[in-house]
Amino acid sequence: MNKKLITEQDIVEMAKRGEKVLRVDADTMLTPSAKDAALQHHIQITDSHDATSSKGQSVSPVAYTPSKVGNSPNASTIIALGSDHGGYRLKETLKQYVGELGYSVADVGTTSEEACDYPDFAYAVAALVTSGQASRGIMIDGVGVASAIVANKVPGIRAVPCYDEFVARSSREHNDANVLTLGGRIVGSELAKSIVKVWLETWFGGGRHQARVQKISDVEKRFTTQK
């Protein structure tokens, strides 16, 4: 079977039409320039087999919100944001707050408190991060643990559930965590804001920590490298 080739021009035409999601399958190939164009135009590339939920709400096209601070040095930094029904209210609060911190936001949903499946949205957040379409991701479910489990199944993701500023800071400085998960039913909005601010503003320490993070990647490669 011939594979379908997606080029940079195809992505540009999608952007002109206002499309924000490109669904691909095993028979689709993207050129490197097409991937770069998708990032530039904030078009999410997602597996067509994983795009919908088995019940309840499904992942919608990504809602991109530019930074609310026009001259912010973080305006070009995109934070992927998602939740299930248990984290929806906190997601909406953090969406506003992350924008106020000067970041741009790519919201994958959910869009209400209607019951839905957290794996779909955790995967959508992780996919944006591992593909380079978002710098980091934040996912909120009821407790914060389940979404971390899902996100950590995605190659290249280091997701961590956080309940205080110390863990948030450590996860960034020591582990270079790129997805933060929170519990919408156990973390209040003000504490969540503090955690998010610390997590976004803490840089990876490198040095001795780099070798340890590399070992995490090495473990992952043992199970993902095709033989």
Residue of 216, 205, 213, 192 lying closest to 101 (CA atoms): 192
| Residues 85 and 160 grouped into a single domain | yes
Q: Are residues 131 and 102 in the same domain?
A: yes
The pLDDT value given to residue 58: 59
Tally the domains of the chain.
2
CATH code for position 88: 3.40.1400.10
Q: What would the mean pLDDT of 203-225 be, rounded to a whole number?
A: 91
Categorize the per-residue pLDDT at 59 as very low, low, confident or very high, splitting at 50, 70 and 90. low
Stated pTM of the model: 0.75
Q: Are residues 37 and 110 in the same domain?
A: no
In-domain check, residue 132: yes
State the residue range of the domain holding 186: 63-201
**Same domain for 114 and 74:** yes
Q: What is the helix (H) or strand (E) element at residue 99, kind and residue range?
A: helix 88-100
Whether 206 is in a domain gets the answer: no
Q: What pLDDT is recorded for position 17?
A: 83
- Asked whether residue 103 falls in the same domain as residue 154, the answer is yes
Is 104 inside a domain boundary?
A: yes
Residues 114, 28, single domain; the answer is no
Give yes or no for residue 21 having a pLDDT over 90.
Answer: no
pLDDT number for residue 60: 60
pLDDT tens digits along 131-187: 998 999 999 999 999 999 999 999 999 999 999 999 999 999 999 999 999 999 999
Q: Which pLDDT score is estimated for 186?
A: 95
Instruction: Summarize pLDDT for 87-126 with one digit per residue, the tens.
Output: 999 999 999 999 999 999 999 999 999 999 999 999 999 9
Give the mean pLDDT of 44-65: 61
The pLDDT confidence band at residue 22, using thresholds 50, 70 and 90, is confident
CA angle 134, 186, 55 (to 5 degrees): 65
Same domain, 16 and 103: no
Label the pairing between strands 28-30 and 4-6. parallel
DSSP letters, 125-140, are HHHHHHTTSSSEEEEE
| pLDDT score recorded for residue 126 | 95
Query: In the structure, what pLDDT confidence band is assigned to residue 61 with cuts at 50, 70 and 90?
Result: low
Alpha carbons within 13 angstroms on the beta-carbon side of residue 217 total 11
85 and 38 part of one domain: no
- Same domain for 77 and 155, yes or no, is yes
174 is catalytic: yes
* 163 and 115 fall within a common domain: yes
Residue 208, in any domain of the structure? no
Sheet of 63-65: strand order equals 63-65, 104-109, 78-83, 136-141, 179-183, 159-161
Beta-bridge mates of residue 10: none
Q: Residue 95 falls within a domain, yes or no?
A: yes
**Spatial distance between the Cα atoms of 177 and 194, rounded to a whole number of angstroms:** 17
Does a structural domain hold residue 109? Answer: yes
In a domain, 25, yes or no: yes
What is the C-alpha to C-alpha distance for residues 126 and 105, in angstroms, rounded to an integer? 14
Per-residue pLDDT at 47: 66
Active-site position among 41, 42, 174, 209: 174
Task: Give the chain's mean pLDDT.
Answer: 88
- Identity of the amino acid at 87: G
Q: What is the pLDDT of residue 53?
A: 39
Kindly state whether residues 193 and 87 are assigned to the same domain: yes
Q: Is 93 within a domain?
A: yes
* Distance, CA of 92 to CA of 100 (rounded, Å): 13
pLDDT (mean) for 209-224: 92
Task: Check pLDDT > 60 for residue 52.
Answer: no
In this structure, the answer to whether residues 21 and 129 fall within a common structural domain is: no
